[in-house]
Amino acid sequence: MNDFEFHSPSTLEEAFELLERYGDDARVMAGGTGVVLQMKQRLSQPGHVIGLRKVAGLSYIKPVAGNGAVEVGALVTHRTLENDPTVNQALPMVTATYRRVATPRIRSMATVGGGLVHGDPNEDPPPTLIALGATVVLTSASGRRDLPVEDLFIDFYETDVQPGEILTSITIPPQPAGSGWAYLKFLPRTADDYATVSVAAVVTPGEGGICGDVKIVLGAVGMTPVHATQAEDLLRGMALTQENIAACASAVKDVVDPLDDFRGSAGYKRDMAEVFTRRAIQQAIQQALENGQTV
Amino acid sequence: MNQQIRLTINGTEHELEIPARRLLVDCLRYDLGLTGTKEGCSVGVCGACTVLIDGEMAASCITLAVAVDGAQITTIEGIAQDGRLHPVQQAFIDHGGFQCGICTPGQVMAAKALLDENPSPTEDEIKAWMMGNLCRCTGYYGILNSVAAAAASQGEGTR
């Protein structure tokens, strides 16, 4: 690892001043599970690291008054989020997804905000957060900017966070009424691995067996999470038959762009994207129907 | 660049002047001589370097020591009390929880963190939690039995 100076601001204002002073030579760090690894591998060699651990006021989880959404401070760890009863009650899909990340030890260290700005397309939370329409707040010395999680990711490890900005919170809307969901993670190697393919699906059945709405977002099959809107369009408003579901799932093969690596060839991942999308939709529909019956 | 930090390790306060790039595992082993904590994979995957930071499990191989300035750190050297091994340590001895031993300090610290949070885990909960601690001797059943036995012995102790 290169030599650098570590800064430990206690307020966001101090952090913004440091970002202003050191510009491109500074790197913001939260839990460190991403930044420290990149520095150990010399992929990142900042002269200044700005640790946020002592910045007050960024570790909270609170319901947003009136609309059922939940706001999560950027420094909340994955473990804290997955164990939070408010989140589990309102957003079981979020709880289930965060529990699939790496190991309990990494989840104790890694923060919700840090995970997003890491911009790794293999991560678990982004597909689920995009499927639910979550937004982030990017704060800078000059104000705040709200951005859909969907628009956060630009390329491998590259996000829309601008110089001087820090991701300070994320707001997750409630799961749609009457919907069912699934987050499927294909893990042919080990339980703590990144997915070979992951799929987040939210399906809201309408009247008469019609698909009222559907969201399908895939992870680990492109340089960013892939929101398969073309595939969604093939199912939305259509009867929820096995034929229509299969046609929808098949369409994701045209929008994913996986890499060959030790988790599988690009062709294999493309095929698995279809298989796991189909299963995710089926599971989400099944869950929506079961929930409907218990109400 | 050297920076001053203060760490409370196993209840003892230490003032240290270390380079910002010093990893916590190296700080423990080389600056403080606490060689119980092992380094395995160096990328936060294998669990050998597990310590507790303010009570939470952490991989000391991907933790900058300067980043945890002011924290309470617990290592394998700090869990025996008054000359008595921690129930998890005793259970690993009694139930064959280790073979070569390199992963053991991390296994014990992970198991302690589990039992601190969930004193009577199910077998599935133990497996899900300990999944992040690799044993290249593949002595996983001995580890599983040890953690279960430690949970049971702690339960007896509190009754």
**Domains of chain B, earliest start first:** 2-78 (3.10.20.30), 87-158 (1.10.150.120)
Q: Which fold has domain A180-294?
A: Enolase-like; domain 1 (3.30.390)
Which of the residues in chain A have pLDDT under 70? 293-295
Q: How far is B84 from chain A (nearest CA, A)?
A: 27
Question: Element (H or E) spanning B19, and its range?
Answer: strand B12-19
Against a cut of 0.90, is the pTM above it? yes
Supply B55's token pair.
């009570």
Instruction: Look at the alpha carbons of B102, B106, B109, B112 in this order and tell me if their dihedral is positive or negative.
Output: negative
| CB within 8 Å: A77 and B131 | no
Instruction: Note the pLDDT of residue A292.
Output: 79
CB-based burial, A3-31: b 16+ in 10 Å, e otherwise:
ebbbbbbeebeebbebbeebeeebbbbbb
Task: For residue B5, give the amino acid letter.
Answer: I
Instruction: Note the pLDDT of residue A155.
Output: 97
Q: Which of B2, B4, B16, B21 to mutate to test the interface with A (most CBs of A within 10 A)?
A: B21
Q: Look-up: residue for tokens 């899900």?
A: B128
Please give the CATH architecture assigned to the domain spanning A5-51.
Answer: 2-Layer Sandwich (3.30)
Find all residues with CB under 8 Å of B141, minimum gap 6, and list them: none
What confidence tens digit (pLDDT) does each residue in A31-85 have? 999 999 999 999 999 999 999 999 999 999 999 988 899 999 999 999 999 999 9
Strands laid side by side in the B50-53 sheet: B12-19, B2-9, B72-74, B50-53, B56-59
Which of the residues in chain B have pLDDT under 50? 159
Task: For residue A63, give the amino acid letter.
Answer: P
Please give the CATH architecture assigned to the domain spanning A61-172.
Answer: 2-Layer Sandwich (3.30)
* Contact indicator for A192, B128 with CB cutoff of 8 Å: no
What confidence tens digit (pLDDT) does each residue in A207-217 have? 999 999 999 99
Chain B residues whose beta carbon lies within 8 Å of the beta carbon of residue A54: 70
Instruction: Note the pLDDT of residue A54.
Output: 95
- B42-B45-B49-B55 Cα dihedral, nearest 10 degrees: 130
Instruction: Note the pLDDT of residue A97.
Output: 98
In chain A, domain spans? 5-51, 61-172, 180-294
Bridge partner residues of A170 (DSSP) = A72, A136
| CB within 8 Å: B3 and A106 | no
CA distance A252 to A250: 6
Find all residues with CB under 8 Å of B124, minimum gap 6, and list them: none
Chain B residues whose beta carbon lies within 8 Å of the beta carbon of residue A37: 43-44, 62
Q: How far is A41 from chain B (nearest CA, A)?
A: 10
| CB within 8 Å: A6 and B129 | no
Beta strands in B20-108 (DSSP E): 50-53, 56-59, 72-74
- A 10 A CB-CB count for B15 gives 8
| CB within 8 Å: B67 and A192 | no
Find all residues with CB under 8 Å of A69, minimum gap 6, and list them: A63, A171, A172, A173, A174
